[in-house]
Amino acid sequence: MVPFLLVSRSAEYETRLRSLLGERLAVIPGEFLTFGPEAVVSRVPDSPRIALLGPVLNYEETKGLVEALTAKHRDLGLIVVREQRSDLEDWVDELELHAVLSPDASDDTTVGLLDRLAGWLIANGRAGEHDFDAPLALEIDEEILEGIDTGLETVADVPPIASEPEPEPEPEPQLPEWEFPPIEAGVPTEAIAVVAPKGGQGKTTIAINLATGLAEVAPNSVVLVDADLQFGDITAALALKPEGTIVDAVADAAIDELVLKTTLTHHDDGFFVVASAPSPELGDQVAPAALAELITRLRATFRYVVIDTTPGLGEHTLVTLEHVTDAVFVSNMGVPSLRATRTEFELLTKLGLMPGNRHIVVNQTDKNSGLTIKDVESIIGAPVDIEVPKSSAVLLASNRGVPLIHDDVRDPAAKAIRSIVLRIAPDAFPKRSKIQRRRRSNEPE
């Protein structure tokens, strides 16, 4: 099986990628798109695990490829190869992608992104551990090499390598030794749901950075729950490899705090993550009541519980809103999304499920959208609390696997998201030197 697929019109990029991936890469020239995306999909060998689309493909071609490829290969990882342009975020909003890669990215960055996506696919049951191994054709047969003249010396002339002693058996894995800081008497615990009427609003980005900012004032006492049970991708956005998921966290055995610990994934910025279900099928097995019970148990241990919800007002999102102190409602400046937000407000008010603390965030604001903030407030029927401007830094931080507020502290979007954190924890001011050290430690080597 060939794990990587490239569809591109750039012979230069094809040559470069072949030099990195060798026989693990299959290439289909973009010229076949003249006959439609099905003509490309019909030529895809076996079942690739990661597809790179571009460069030199337009939006309609890329959209057609994404739809056709995912229809045939539902677990496929998708990367768009495209330079940073002003309309790139529109591509990310409209297409179901896992990552965006610049065609000018260094070899280390390219390989690093492929490795992170491969790890996420394996961790979430979408690929096997050996799917990304080099094909057998790449393995060197020592017997064939013996006696061949290399131009310097023959392989047969190379002194044999001394055999290494047998490695000692690895110790039995132990439970993590994380210490959850005790919550002082009289200090209330808070749970914050991050809600959006549709996908592509930037809800997950807000949730990740909210948890990151809160962890500055409550280190190791913040947990981020990926409750988008169908297609949650927090661990991918943070380049984490979870040992457990929300499916394990809601299991009967996880009532024991020691067992619950094993379901959490720790992030270097001082917070924990409950990873989403490894597949939509397993996500469907998480009952709303089980999610509610999990939030209650986490609030008994953590100062802050941040829940990234499934888009819309499904049963799981409604039960989440019943068990939180705050809700951050996120929408972009599209009229359909704003109207859907207004409908959400009306429904939640009618059901008596509107949390006491409501924070309205308009994300990806753009002066060229044709709407003003006053127009937005008129459509949703409520004042806007935070405006987060459109910024390419959001995508760059996600591709690096680093929270935006610790990746580019001066970016306008990062400053706006920091304002959301400050609404909940007024003492969560950034520590600049600490942020810069974290950024360097997470950059590709």
Q: What is the pLDDT of residue 254?
A: 85
What total of structural domains would you count in the chain? 2
Q: How confident is the model at residue 256 (pLDDT cuts 50, 70, 90)?
A: confident
| Proportion of the chain above pLDDT 90, given as a percent | 48
In whole numbers, what is the pLDDT of the chain averaged over residues? Answer: 83
179, pLDDT greater than 70: no
197 inside domain? yes
pLDDT digits (tens, 9 = 90+) for 68-88: 999 999 899 999 998 766 566
146 inside domain? no
Q: What is the CATH number for 12?
A: 3.40.50.2300
Q: Are 309 and 246 in contact, with CB atoms under 8 Å apart?
A: no
376 inside domain? yes
83 lies in the same domain as 214: no
Q: What is the pLDDT of residue 253?
A: 85
Q: How confident is the model at residue 383 (pLDDT cuts 50, 70, 90)?
A: very high
pLDDT digits (tens, 9 = 90+) for 192-219: 999 999 888 999 999 999 999 999 999 9
Q: What is the pLDDT of residue 442?
A: 41
248, pLDDT greater than 70: yes
Q: What is the pLDDT of residue 17?
A: 92
Q: What is the CATH number for 197?
A: 3.40.50.300
Q: What is the pLDDT of residue 440?
A: 36
Q: What is the pLDDT of residue 167?
A: 55
Last residue of a domain, one of 133, 159, 181: 133
> What does the pLDDT average to over 331-350?
94
| Proportion of the chain above pLDDT 70, given as a percent | 84
120 lies in the same domain as 212: no
Which of 153-162, 281-290, 408-417 is predicted with the least confidence, judged by mean pLDDT? 153-162
Which of 138-152, 214-228, 270-284, 406-420 is predicted with the least confidence, judged by mean pLDDT? 138-152
Q: What is the pLDDT of residue 273?
A: 96
72 lies in the same domain as 219: no
Q: What is the pLDDT of residue 328?
A: 96
163 inside domain? no
365 lies in the same domain as 252: yes
Q: What is the pLDDT of residue 162?
A: 42
The domain in which residue 406 lies consists of 190-442
Q: What is the pLDDT of residue 396?
A: 84
228 lies in the same domain as 332: yes
250 lies in the same domain as 361: yes
144 inside domain? no
> What does the pLDDT average to over 278-288?
88
What is the pTM for the complete model shown?
0.59
208 lies in the same domain as 336: yes
141 inside domain? no
Last residue of a domain, one of 133, 150, 182: 133
166 inside domain? no
Q: Scanning the structure block, which residue is given the tokens 């979870």?
A: 242
Q: What is the pLDDT of residue 151?
A: 36
Q: What is the pLDDT of residue 230?
A: 81
250 lies in the same domain as 110: no
345, pLDDT greater than 90: yes
182 inside domain? no
Which of 164-173, 247-256, 262-271, 352-361 is predicted with the least confidence, judged by mean pLDDT? 164-173
Is 387 or 153 the better-scoring residue by pLDDT?
387
Q: How confident is the model at residue 146 (pLDDT cuts 50, 70, 90)?
A: very low
